[in-house]
């Protein structure tokens, strides 16, 4: 096997640095590209988390998921209601 | 405990305001009327002078919305987000193409056949909305319809305003069968008759639930429907097809923390079809689904019809 001279070793190290830099730059470009595509894909999301100025409605317009009522409804005794829930 | 009631018509539907203190019903009515006028001016799709009509005609330009319209848009976007697009506000053009292009009282008569084209609606992601600046831009051709979540939002806002105006006691506001409550309920809770049509008188025979807070909403394909060329159409659009839904449920009723959340879940249940049962159970939302053949399903913590309470 050929013995490496100091010059050969330095050339090899320089080649390795270039390859490392190229791989890092490529990865960075890929991350930026994917980030841009992701941002464009979710453009409909609000760009601010500030609360609505219609403060009375804040409970209705916020929240990450639907909320069940604090007290579950119960079955009414036989007899009439005082108001109707139905389609309109 | 006696309950006072005031009723009238607004937003193309019936309005009922109930208070536990009969002396407060006039104050509650005044507060609700004011909210409904503001909602109509901001969110109506059928008024040329409404903010929403101007936004729908903005042809891609960014518009600064009023606080109320911005809140309605934020609510509609949240509905789309939490239902993964099953409840989508960009159905405006699809509704118009299906014949719902005017106040409902004007479209009931059959005005002849129309041609429907299946295809997904533009999708809520197309809306450019900044909640802080209230800037909103719709791509040209995209029309918002805030009819579903907008009515429920109006009920929540109206109940809150009425409760503030009455200072004490409890208030219930019904807009076309979507109910919001505020304050202390009557003894035993608000007695709500569950029906497929909100025009059914509450003293008729039927299932009654007692509600101690939150909201109730019912979505149905059986009431707001019309004919074109002999075909029956209705107002619940499947965003995936741009056409009226054709799933197994004709009516869905849901109880939730707010009327908006109940309305979102009820509409989503109709659109999600068979997947609605697991979707509702996962969220622990009490729901009642009616199949097209009339079979009734109680979902999650919906009250057991046999578990009568006083």
Comparing CA positions, the residue from A88, A76, A80 lying closest to residue B177 is A88
- How far is B188 from A68, CA to CA, in rounded Å? 19
Residue B103 main-chain phi, psi, to 5 deg: -50, 140
With a cut of 70, list the residues of chain B below it in pLDDT: 1, 108, 305-310
pLDDT, tens only, B187-203: 999 999 999 999 999 99
Comparing CA positions, the residue from B139, B140, B136 lying closest to residue B128 is B136
Q: pLDDT of chain A along its 88 residues, tens only? A: 556 677 677 777 677 666 665 555 555 445 434 443 443 344 444 433 333 334 545 555 567 799 888 888 998 866 688 999 999 8
Burial class of B169 by CB neighbour count within 10 A (0 to 12, 13 to 18, 19+): buried
B217–chain A Cβ distance below 8 A for any pair: yes
Q: What pLDDT does residue B35 have?
A: 98
Element (DSSP H or E) covering residue A25: helix A6-41
Verify whether the Cβ–Cβ distance B191 to A80 is below 8 Å: yes
Residue B230 main-chain phi, psi, to 5 deg: 90, -15
B162–chain A Cβ distance below 8 A for any pair: no
Verify whether the Cβ–Cβ distance A52 to B18 is below 8 Å: no
| Beta strands across the sheet bearing B128-130 | B63-64, B135-137, B128-130
Q: What percent of chain B has pLDDT over 70?
A: 97
Report ipTM for this prediction.
0.87
A38–chain B Cβ distance below 8 A for any pair: no
Which are the contacts of B123, defined by CB distance < 8 A and separation ≥ 6?
A44, B85, B88, B90, B239
Query: In Å, how far from its chain's centre is CA B141?
Result: 24
What SS3 string covers chain B? CCCEEEEEEECCEEEEEEECCHHHHHHHHHHHHHHHHHHHHHHCCCCCCCHHHHHHCCCCCCEECCHHHHHHHHHHHHHHHHCCCCCCHHHHHHHHHCCCCCCHHHHCCCCCCCCCCCCCCCCHHHCEEECCCCEEECCCCCCCCCHHHHHHHHHHHHHHHHHHHHCCCEEEEEECCEEEEEECCCCCCEEEEEEEECCCCCCCCCCEEEECCCEEEEEECCCCEEEECCEEEECCEECCCCEECCCCEEEEEEEECCHHHHHHHHHHHHHHHHHHHHHHHHCCCCEEEEECCCCEEEECCCCCCCCEEC
Residue B291 main-chain phi, psi, to 5 deg: -70, 165
> Is the Cα dihedral B242, B294, B277, A46 positive or negative?
positive
Q: How many Cα atoms are found within 13 Å in the side-chain-facing hemisphere of B75?
A: 35
- How far is B188 from B182, CA to CA, in rounded Å? 15
Place of tokens 């009734």: B296
B54–chain A Cβ distance below 8 A for any pair: no
Interface of B with A in 4-23 (CB under 8 A): 5, 13-14, 16, 18
Query: Which residues of chain B have a CB within 8 Å of the CB of A62?
Result: 74, 78
B253–chain A Cβ distance below 8 A for any pair: yes
Verify whether the Cβ–Cβ distance B71 to A83 is below 8 Å: no
- Please tell me whether residue A62 adopts helix, strand or coil conformation: coil
- How far is B132 from A46, CA to CA, in rounded Å? 9
Which are the contacts of B214, defined by CB distance < 8 A and separation ≥ 6?
A69, A70, A71, B181, B255, B256, B257, B258, B259, B262
B226 vs chain A: nearest CA distance in angstroms?
13
Q: How many CB pairs under 8 A join A and B?
A: 254
Rounded to whole angstroms, what are the CA distances from B16 to A33, B36, B160, B195, B295? 54, 12, 14, 16, 29
Q: What pLDDT does residue A2 have?
A: 57
Comparing CA positions, the residue from B174, B145, B173, B178 lying closest to residue B160 is B173
A33 vs chain B: nearest CA distance in angstroms?
20
B125–chain A Cβ distance below 8 A for any pair: yes
B117 vs chain A: nearest CA distance in angstroms?
25
Interface of A with B in 15-34 (CB under 8 A): none
Q: Which of A50, A61, A72 sits opposite B75 (nearest CB)?
A: A61
A5–chain B Cβ distance below 8 A for any pair: no
Comparing CA positions, the residue from B18, B27, B2, B8 lying closest to residue B164 is B27
Q: Which of B13, B123, B309 sits opposite A77 (nearest CB)?
A: B309
Interface of A with B in 69-88 (CB under 8 A): 69-88
Length of chain B counted residue by residue: 310
Verify whether the Cβ–Cβ distance A53 to B71 is below 8 Å: yes
Comparing CA positions, the residue from B239, B48, B67 lying closest to residue A44 is B239
Q: What pLDDT does residue B297 have?
A: 95
């Amino acid at each position: 096997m050929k013995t490496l001279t100091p010059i050969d070793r330095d050339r090899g190290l320089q080649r390795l640095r270039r390859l490392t830099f190229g791989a890092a730059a490529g990865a960075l470009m890929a991350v930026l590209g994917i980030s841009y595509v992701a941002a464009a894909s979710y453009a409909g999301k609000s760009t601010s988390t500030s609360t609505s100025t219609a403060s009375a409605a804040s409970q209705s317009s916020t929240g990450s998921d639907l909320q069940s009522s604090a007290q579950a409804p119960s079955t009414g005794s036989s007899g009439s209601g005082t108001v109707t829930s139905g389609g309109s | 405990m006696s309950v006072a009631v005031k009723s009238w018509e607004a937003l193309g539907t019936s309005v009922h305001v109930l208070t536990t203190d009969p002396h407060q019903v006039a104050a509650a009515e005044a507060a609700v009327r004011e909210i409904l006028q503001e909602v109509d001016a901001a969110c109506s799709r059928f008024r040329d002078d409404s903010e929403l009509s101007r936004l729908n005609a903005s042809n891609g330009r960014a518009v600064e919305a009023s606080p109320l319209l911005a809140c309605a848009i934020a609510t509609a976007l949240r509905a789309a987000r939490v239902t993964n697009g099953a409840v989508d506000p960009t159905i405006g053009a699809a509704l118009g193409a299906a014949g719902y292009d005017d106040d409902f009282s004007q479209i009931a008569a059959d005005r002849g056949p129309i041609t429907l084209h299946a295809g997904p609606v533009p999708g809520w992601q197309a809306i450019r909305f900044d909640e802080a600046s209230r800037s909103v831009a719709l791509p040209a051709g995209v029309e918002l319809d805030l009819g579903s979540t907008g009515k429920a939002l109006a009920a929540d806002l109206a109940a809150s305003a009425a409760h503030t105006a009455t200072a004490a006691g409890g208030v219930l506001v019904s807009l076309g069968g979507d109910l919001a409550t505020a304050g202390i309920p009557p003894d035993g809770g608000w007695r709500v008759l569950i029906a497929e049509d909100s025009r059914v008188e509450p003293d008729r025979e039927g299932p009654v639930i007692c509600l101690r807070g939150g909201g109730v909403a019912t979505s149905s394909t059986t009431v707001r429907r019309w004919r074109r060329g002999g075909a029956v159409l209705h107002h619940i659009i499947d965003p995936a097809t741009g056409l009226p839904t054709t799933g197994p449920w004709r009516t869905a009723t849901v109880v939730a923390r707010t009327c908006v959340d109940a309305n979102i879940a009820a509409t989503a249940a109709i659109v999600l079809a068979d997947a609605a049962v697991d979707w509702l159970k996962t969220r622990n939302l009490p729901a009642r689904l009616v199949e097209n053949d009339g079979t009734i399903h109680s979902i999650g913590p919906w009250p057991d019809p046999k578990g009568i309470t006083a």
